Amino acid sequence: MKPKVDIIQLGLMDYKEAWDRQTEYQQALIQQKRDPASDGSVTHKLIICQHPAVYTLGKSGSEDNLIWNEEERNQKGVSYYKINRGGDITHHGPGQLVVYPIFDLDQFFTDVHLYVRLLEECVIMTLEDYGIVGGRLPDFTGVWLDGQPKRKICAIGVHLSRWVSLHGLAFNVNNDLSLFEGIIPCGIDAGDKTITSIEKELGRKVDMEEVAAKMIDNFAEIFEFEIIT
């Protein structure tokens, strides 16, 4: 039987509130796994949302990559959190599609590297729907567009506990890219690499609900699950 996934659309939600919601779902899945009376069946979650402007620093990141000080961040209306995902520093903001799979990978596969590659593949497939060719760069997580400079369009950072996933991907669609100037995105300080979005590549905004629907369909195809909501 295919895994069953509940699609949860949170809209625009404060980062900390969404993080708490993710954690609740993750802990509930872990408790189900621990329950000796459980039949082993679980309902996974796929959270779709956007966040008000925020910087988040992963547990392996460096605060040296945070350029704007607290006063500058306050002036720009950008909050800041140190969090428990992998990776370095990134930015979330309105117009960016954020996807948090809360999956028990025991029901899919127990391979972190494959999990990240499949997250990337969901984004690559969604880009194809807009005529954009996305791909990967050796030694750099996420989804990139080729050319000069190389352009990152999606950041990925995850955390696993008892093979239940937390955090996920941040896909630049229509968001304000100028706020990436307050950080060294993902700690990558290189003149041949920059940040982009669907809007920047196409020269027009695209419908966020449409992008979310395409992303959900691509997740269901790549991870081979049944959507229950």
Question: Which residues are marked as active site?
Answer: 186
The encoded tokens of residue 60 equal: 């392996």
* Secondary structure percentages of the chain, helix, strand, coil, to 5: 35, 35, 30
SS3 132: coil
CB atoms within 10 A of CB 162: 12
Angle between helices 208-223 and 112-128 (to 10 degrees): 140
Work out the angle at residue 159's Cα, subtended by the Cα atoms of residues 222 and 145, and round it to the nearest 5 degrees: 55
The residue type found at 89 is I
Find residue 100's DSSP bridge partners.
Answer: 47
Q: Please tell me the distance from the alpha carbon of residue 215 to that of residue 60, in angstroms, as a whole number.
A: 28
The residue assigned the tokens 């659309």 is 9
